[in-house]
Structure 1
């Protein structure tokens, strides 16, 4: 299995460590656990994770949705929200960031693993399709 790095953004340290333990048992690498949106943005720039598991409600001035809005401006990294909040307002805001998943706590480890695998696969396929479109477009321009 390739080395998949997953950044965990969770402000409850016990939950964060539990998530990290589960991710490692699935064979993933966790380069960092952070508890604020600002740290999430900074760590994304430092570690370039393959996927971000993002809690919606975080310590600090920004929430997880705002953090992903900032991260998406610079990076093409899939995100799965992992949160206790499932009300319509939060869900509508989260949808605008085009997440690859939205898991409500408490969650089952198998649900987490399945969502991660689907998100990584979907992101890889979308990236390949964009490359294909770009290479086709370049060929047409050279003709």
Structure 2
């Protein structure tokens, strides 16, 4: 694993605890740091700020009155953190709403670890090149 990968912090936003732990473990196996997993949009916004995450893996269906798309919109506008949706939502309406937040990726569950890793690396690359401009 390269050095940059070891320092990359990924916030996992997932309303199902078992799924969140699975994702966290898979990310750690890939060499990423996972400072926290949260279950609601409000927690996601707070943790994105507190952990200074490099990337957010966002489910669309969350606990509470805010879905992942709304949380992603706020996180991107306030903190500029890249978002990859990791969701079981396949409907056109949610996909269209998600596109409006300019995500770095949209991965459907169940996912392959290889797809997740490649999407994360591309998202981080794009984010770093944006910050250099």
Q: What TM-score, normalized by structure 1, do the two folds share?
A: 0.88
- Contact kept in structure 1, 2:76 and 2:83, CA below 8 Å: no
> Could you tell me how far apart the structure 1 residues matched to 2:42 and 2:82 are?
18
C-alpha deviations, 1:92-140, integer Å up to 9, x for none? 1000100000000000011101100011011111222x2xxxxxxxxxx
Partner residue in 1 for 2:48: 44
Which runs of no fewer than 5 residues in structure 1 stay unpaired?
A: 131-143
Correspondences of 1:111-122 after superposition (within 5 Å): 111-122=115-126
Matched with 1:59 is 63
Alignment: residue pair count = 129
TM-superposed deviation, 1:73: 2.2
Structure-2-length-normalised TM-score? 0.94
- Choose 1 or 2 for highest CA Rg: 1
For 1:104 and 1:73, how far apart are their aligned partners in 2? 24
